[in-house]
Amino acid sequence: MEIKKFGETALIIQFENVISVDVHQKVKSYYYYLSNISIHGILSVIPAYTSITIQFDDTIIDYSELKFIVSDINIQHPNNLPIQRIVEIPVCYDASLGLDLADVENQLKLSVDEIIKLHSSNLYTVHMIGFSPGFMYLGGLSPQLYIPRKSTPRLKIPAGAVGLADQQTGIYPQATPGGWQIIGQTPISMFDVNQPPKVKMGDKVKFEPIDLSTYQQLNQNNL
């Protein structure tokens, strides 16, 4: 673990720079510990794949003081972690919604059925929320589905689009530009500013394949 300054009013706790269950457990443990103790001057605690950023008010606490406090934390058996939830999310992998499904099929030398089976059979971990509100970065993708981002990003990807990028999978909660390889779509709204978040860091996610008719029905119900 390395602690380093990030600008004038932030500090980064950097763990091993690899996406893994062990590193995620460390990030999660420190994140919830820091979020639940009272350190005067901390403004926010932001988890990422392999690090945590702490923003602080330097009129209340300076970098050296905060670094000393963080360095002294020793989490051996965390008992402050929330109950881990498993969130099931329906996904339609129809060709009309999987905008890049044919390209993914060609690049990975897999059939569409194999792609769907591989993608929907794993249990994923929410490593972080970022990029846009509600966008969850999921670890646990089958290595057979590892694929680079698109060389030319789209100017607009529809809300609910399910994509692949390198070792990750995720869902676009809003219509935004993006370069992930889109293989399907969920009819479920993944972000509503007036509602609690559907998922949070540390949750597990399971994708449930649905056909186009079911997708259209669920999508209509969510309008």
| pLDDT over 90 (residue 193) | no
Domain with CATH 3.30.1360.40 in the chain: 2-71
Encoding tokens for residue 42? 């901390």
Domain with CATH 2.40.100.10 in the chain: 86-221
Fold of the 86-221 domain: Cyclophilin (2.40.100)
66-90: average pLDDT:
79
Q: What is the DSSP letter of 217?
A: H
Whether 153 and 165 have beta carbons less than 8 Å apart is answered as no
Q: How confident is the model at residue 108 (pLDDT cuts 50, 70, 90)?
A: very high
For residue 72, the model assigns a pLDDT of 86
For residue 223, the model assigns a pLDDT of 59
Does domain 2-71 correspond to CATH entry 1.10.3720.10?
Answer: no
Mean pLDDT, all residues of the chain: 91
Report which of residues 134 and 67 the model is more confident about.
Answer: 67
104-109: average pLDDT:
97
- Would the CA dihedral through 80, 207, 170, 25 be positive or negative? positive
DSSP string, 43-73: EEEEE-SSEEEEEE-TTT--HHHHHHHHHT-
